[in-house]
Amino acid sequence: VKTDLLIARTSDDRRVAIWRTESLGPPRKSAVICPGFGRRMRHVGPIALYLAQNGVVTYRFDPVNHLGLSDGTIRDFSLEGTLESLRVTFEHLLKRESVETGTVVAASLSARTAFRFAANYPSVDKIIGLVGVVNGADTIRRALGIDYSDVALTALPDHVDFEGHQIDPRWLWWDHHERDWGSLQGTIDDLAKASCPVVNFAAQADEWVDSDDLRKAFEIGGGGPRSIFELPYGEHDLSQNPAAVRVVLGKLTDVLLQDEVSELDCLSPDLVEPSFDEILELIVAERELESMHRDELGQAD
Amino acid sequence: VRQLPAVSLVDRVLFGKADPYRLSTTQREAFLLDAVREALQSHLERNDPLSDFFTRRQFTIEQIQDVSDLDLVPLLPTDVFKRARIVSSSPDSIVQSFTSSGTGGVHSILARDEVTLQRFAGSLRSCTRLLEPWLAQEALDSRVRVVNLGPPRSADTGPWFSYVMALIEVLAPTQHFVHNGELRLREALLSIRKHLRSGFQVGLVGPPAFVERLVRFAEHNNFSVDGAEQLFVLTGGGWKHLHHQALDPPDFRQLVVDTFGLNSPVQVRDGFNQVELNSVFTECELHNKHVPPWVHAAVRDVNTLEAVAEGQAGLLSFLDATAHSFPCFIIGDDLGLLHSRCPCGRTGPTVEFIRRISRTSDEGCAMKMQAAISTLTWEGLNPNRSLE
């Protein structure tokens, strides 16, 4: 597949690095893919490959103040920054592809930003969450060990560690207290405002997302059609399990390409699946591509 | 809420978040029993010759009620893979056929499909658990650089061992230092130095003979590195035709430690795999090779092929639940021992390899193996043909 680097700018002039991956054959749809927290756009390469082989042009991005090629470091991560990165990437897609609508595929914490984005952006024709987070405070408590809903700003540590990265917890505190990114009710409110279909692929053994919260958010936040597909025994980091990835991406591609989610009980017979070797080649090639683009952009590793 | 198809039991553990080497003994045994049963069922449904073989051996899956019953599963001598194409998956699902890199003239050929290769890659990744705490899982992709004393994967479509070593590039950024059959020692050393200076953890991987050659070259050229506490050496594949030059493992480790200035022999580990097996057995910090929980290992008497008690040496046999495209219920040529627990605290047995049997000096064993093979009727297998 052919992937090119594009640069968009946030309202405060920070660079958002985007990888545009062409579809193989005539494009049938366009989609933005948002990696989850702590993951780079190359980590969602298999999704882009899967979609490209089925006729979907994809735009992946690294949010600002996160890992990857965009400006800022993960120390200053905030959901506001991710939302702004999603907005400029989506607008880039609409303009460059000359389309009026596009789909957003978002993993984990990024799905939370996608729900709010859809609430305020009618050009989104569908949101597809992958282990989407609906109760930010609860997920962050499980992942980082801090409950932002119940702590004073002055009581926060200088940083918290997550997967070897130092993160300033004050940005997340502000996200929660100033913009209501953290509460389940905030997600319900956003979903109630979003009229497009919203589908979430959930993992039954997800250690970071409570399945009752997810069901509640989708039941009450019914601004449009809502669906949940659940992978039995699945864990939050689905990307580590290629067997799970295969099951989920087949259905995800189907969901993305079809208009009526509710009619999908089996995979389309014409669905194309990338091979093991193609995925391996992609992983290695995109690691090198990232390194090359990092040098081009003058970014630190 | 709609349910997606569940992934198999073995995939859940193999690719799961939990460290598979730290399951409780109860969890491990329950998983192993179910995973092997699932694998047996799957192969019997897809592989008629295997089903016939099991029938002639009067074996049914119902006989497997307990972990100890796993020793009842009829075994395929690895030699049969040299004589017949034994496949459980349809031909169009096979991604690649791999040959052994053995010293003999006849090589085993194993056909692997996507599921089998994926699971092998998963097994390789799970081995990194045995390198903790030196290596953090989340650091693999970002803070580790691999120097592979082997060819790139794309340059090699034959011997399994080369493929295995090159597959490491999926786990971490990797440079390969065998090109057109030439081992580029100087470039490999400079790469190690460069990555260490840049603050990366470096994994030097390769066959022990190649690592030894690199070490001797470094020694000869007074090569030194700063930050050697971040250098890790992983060997695999054995000494092959250079076995007469093989160093004892402790001597080999000490040579590497002394030359590169490593902190301790803990930074030098070995792994075991063979083309007929779909998992890797890697050493823990005590240099014991751990059998992963999806593999049942046993030691067999060289004459009767019956399972022997712990502590007795014999032929090693394995039931590997991760192999989907071929039945990995095998007995090979390796003499060894099993130890039921390791002082490192991980669960499950460790395996100690003693030596490979010689067909001439281990005649009784060879004859027994011949007898086992003669009960197989795969297409292309000539039971009257000599093992040699």
Q: Are B349 and B339 in contact (CB under 8 A)?
A: yes
- Single-letter code of the amino acid located at A274: P
Could you tell me if the ipTM is greater than 0.90? no
Alpha helices in B308-382 (DSSP H): 363-373
pLDDT score for B370? 46
Neighbours of A26 (CB within 10 A): 6
Q: Comparing C-alpha atoms, which of A284, A34, A251 is closest to residue B2?
A: A251
The dihedral formed by the CA atoms of A247, A192, A150 and A82, expressed in degrees to the nearest 10: 60
> Angle of helix A276-297 relative to helix B114-127, nearest 10 degrees?
50
Distance separating alpha carbons of residues B16 and A36, to the nearest angstrom:
18
What's the mean pLDDT in B72-81?
Answer: 94
pLDDT of A92 higher than 50: yes
Distance separating alpha carbons of residues B332 and A162, to the nearest angstrom:
45
* Three-state secondary-structure class, residue B12: helix
Give the distance from CA A280 to its chain's centroid: 22
B139/A276 Cβ within 8 A: no
Cα–Cα–Cα angle for B318, B323, B324, rounded to 5 degrees: 145
A163/B11 Cβ within 8 A: no
The token pair at B11 is: 């995939």
Q: With a CB-CB cutoff of 8 Å, which residues 287-306 of chain B face chain A?
A: none
Which of A40-44, A240-244, B9-13, B216-220 has the lowest average pLDDT? A240-244
pLDDT of A130 higher than 50: yes
pLDDT of B156 higher than 70: no
Choose, out of A40, A162, A277, A292, the residue to mutate when testing the contact with B (most B CBs < 10 Å): A277
Which positions in chain A touch B143 (Cβ < 8 Å)?
A: 164
| Per-residue pLDDT reduced to its tens digit, B316-357 | 999 999 999 999 999 998 999 999 999 999 999 999 998 887
pLDDT of B102 higher than 90: no
The token pair at B244 is: 């007469």
- Buried-state track B266-282, b at ≥16 Cβ within 10 A, e below 16: bbbbbbbbbbbbbbbbb
pLDDT of B274 higher than 70: yes
Looking at every residue in chain B, the average pLDDT score rounds to: 88
pLDDT of B385 higher than 60: no
| Per-residue pLDDT reduced to its tens digit, B352-378 | 998 887 655 544 444 444 454 444 444
A231/B1 Cβ within 8 A: no
Q: Comparing C-alpha atoms, which of B88, B76, B22 is closest to residue B348?
A: B22
Q: Indicate the pTM of the whole model.
A: 0.89
pLDDT of B380 higher than 80: no
**Interface contacts A/B by beta carbons within 8 Å:** 80
A243/B118 Cβ within 8 A: yes
Which of A76-85, B131-140, B231-240, B377-386 has the lowest average pLDDT? B377-386
pLDDT of B89 higher than 90: yes
Task: Tell whether B15 is within 8 A of chain A (Cβ).
Answer: yes
A240/B118 Cβ within 8 A: no
Q: List Cβ neighbours of A287 (8 Å cut-off, separation of 6 or more).
A: A42, B141, B173
What's the mean pLDDT in A224-234?
Answer: 93
pLDDT score for B359? 59
pLDDT score for B384? 35
A251/B7 Cβ within 8 A: no
Tell me the helix, strand and coil percentages in chain A, rounded to 5.
45, 20, 35
Task: Tell whether B5 is within 8 A of chain A (Cβ).
Answer: yes
pLDDT of A293 higher than 90: yes
A248/B4 Cβ within 8 A: yes
Nearest CB among B7, B136, B169 relative to A243 is that of: B7
| Per-residue pLDDT reduced to its tens digit, A131-150 | 999 999 999 889 888 787 77
pLDDT of B284 higher than 60: yes
What's the mean pLDDT in A16-36?
Answer: 97
pLDDT score for B252? 97
Distance separating alpha carbons of residues B211 and B217, to the nearest angstrom:
10
